[in-house]
Amino acid sequence: MKYYSFTVLFIHVVNLSAGITQPNACIGVNTIGEADETLNASPVSETDTGTAYLIAQPAFNCCGVVKLWKAYIKHNGTIKFDIWRSLSDGINFRLVGTHEFRIVVSSDSLLTLSIPPAAQYTVYPGDNIGWYTPVKEMIAYTVNSSSQVKSCISRPSSHPLGSVLNWSTASRTINTYAIGAQYDVNSAPMFVNLDAYIQVVPPIAIGTVIYTISATDPDVSDTSITQLTYSNTSGNGLFSFDSTTRHVIVSANLTATAGYHCITFEVEDICQNKDTGSLCIFIYNEPPTVTCNPQTATIIETTNGNVALTTMVVSDPTDDVTCSAPNIAPFMLKMEKEYKIFVNANPGFRVSTRDFYSLSITCNDNKNSTTAMCNIQILPSAPPRFINLPGLISVSTVNVITNPVYDVLVADPDSKSFNFSATCKHISCPFTINNTGSIQLDQDLLDRTIGGYDLYITVTDGYNNAADTLTVTISDVNVPPKFINLPLTTVLYVPENTALGSTVYKVSATDNDGDALTYNMASSPVTGMTYFSIDRSNGIITTSTVRAINYEEIKNTTWTFTVSVDDGKVTVK
């Protein structure tokens, strides 16, 4: 098995194309020289050291970049693969590229040595390949009397890139060497800062530099500015281009030429690869300035019609300005010495639906337009507030229907018109309220037994509501008594032979009027009254004081007692 390792040292080349006419560019992959194991016929010299070689023919036949070297290596060591360019006399050659490899192989090897993109040199038609080994020979060969290889032992090991070597003393060898190179298409240059758009603001003095064009090329030999040719292929007389400094320069008065002006540029490398780019220059005309005063206007949602909200502050140093604002309902833009925003009639504002408007106002000077956004904040109207609620009043049962009994007073900073309503909780209400806040009696109270009413009063201003309570007491109505602990939900059991006069149950009742109460009791069947009685003054039910309860003797053992209470006016059972 064969093994090899190598170290590469690349030295970048700069402007080495002086005197070269525009070459034809390579199309696809090309090869030069020979790298074949069949050339491994003769042993290399073990004594020659520091020998440089140049293959006069074949030469490179198009403009491209060297991608790789191939060589049949016989010995370990350092080798420099060279690219030479004739200075037209066939004697003096300039070193325009070199790739140094330190190679270690375990036996004879045909090596392919790739060159990374950053070190791929540009070659031209007529350039030659060569090599140099500072110690002993390394490349295999066969004897060939027609060989075009020149050898020169005087090449310094540190021969600098770009310097010239005189080969007049070199001798032609009779060997064909196993060395070759592969070269490919040269990459096109690329603009770094095109396409571009810039803006200039007149006035600008003629001769002012407004932009500098820059380009680059992936090929190491083309990165020098002198290897790239710049030109502009279009323009309109307002600007000029210096291809040496790559400056774009103002060449005319720009004041009256607002708008875009585009120039096309071209860059070309030595292999005639090209790139184009454009520079669009926008000559700025100062547009009108437009602001809203105030920026955000605030109004109450009850606002209605022809109210000025915002004044437009408009200025332009040179031109007359007109402003417009389509589709801003429920607002409008009007000119009254200055532009103002007004509220339309019946705008129908509702904070609950929408509380903010952003209005677009556009002002134009016939060259440019400016749009300002004016804001309108809709504030909720203040809710109505009761002045004399909650309240408490007393009404007599002899009041006449439709007579006012109370006037509800309301305060509202935003509204003067209100709608009222009144309801009584849980019961039929004998009162009504109109939209002035006047409460009136609408039913006769004489037959009423209720001692008072809680009127739930609601007022609305069309946007907000308020509610509170008016308590109405009936001054001369009798309130019937009512039982507290009747009816019973369970059967009351009394043992037989219970002692005479024993308390069985105490009936309790209440009367809101404080009247004295009298209790009565009836029995079904009526025999129950033989064994039980009720104290009319306090409602205590007791067993008979004279007749004992004997279960075996009584005919009925279950009775239903109906108790009534009387306040002197009404009896309640």
Alpha carbons 420 and 408: distance in angstroms, whole number? 9
For each of the domains in the chain, give its residue range(s) and CATH number, in order of start. Answer: 4-185 (2.60.120), 190-283 (2.60.40.10), 292-372 (2.60.40), 385-474 (2.60.40.60), 482-572 (2.60.40.60)
Alpha carbons 339 and 311: distance in angstroms, whole number? 6
CB 88 within 8 A of CB 82: no
Longest C-alpha distance within the chain, in Å? 169
Residue-by-residue pLDDT tens, the chain, 573 positions: 232 333 333 323 333 444 455 578 898 899 998 866 666 656 666 656 778 888 888 899 999 999 999 998 888 889 999 999 999 888 899 999 999 999 988 778 889 999 998 888 999 899 999 999 888 888 888 877 666 666 665 566 678 888 898 888 887 777 788 899 999 998 888 999 999 999 988 778 999 999 999 988 887 777 655 556 767 666 678 888 888 888 999 988 876 677 888 888 888 888 888 888 899 998 887 888 999 999 999 998 888 878 889 999 998 766 788 999 988 999 998 888 899 999 988 888 888 899 999 999 999 987 788 999 999 999 998 899 999 999 999 988 777 888 899 999 999 988 888 999 999 987 888 999 999 999 999 888 766 778 789 999 999 988 889 999 999 988 877 777 899 999 998 899 999 899 999 999 999 999 887 889 999 999 999 998 999 999 999 999 999 899 988 888 888 889 999 999 998 877 888
Q: Which tens digit of pLDDT belongs to each residue from 341-377?
A: 999 888 888 888 999 999 999 999 877 889 999 999 9
Alpha carbons 548 and 551: distance in angstroms, whole number? 10
CB 377 within 8 A of CB 354: no
CB 162 within 8 A of CB 14: yes
Buried-state track 287-300, b at ≥16 Cβ within 10 A, e below 16: bbebbbeeeebeeb
pTM over 0.75: no
- Among 464, 469, 462, residue whose Cα is nearest residue 406: 469
Q: Which tens digit of pLDDT belongs to each residue from 267-308?
A: 888 888 888 889 999 888 788 899 999 999 999 888 887 888
Alpha carbons 312 and 334: distance in angstroms, whole number? 10
Contacts of 46 (CB under 8 A, 6+ apart): 136, 137
Per the DSSP assignment, residues forming a β-bridge with 364 are 322, 369
Length of the chain, in residues: 573
CB 50 within 8 A of CB 15: no
Task: Classify 529 as helix, strand or coil.
Answer: helix
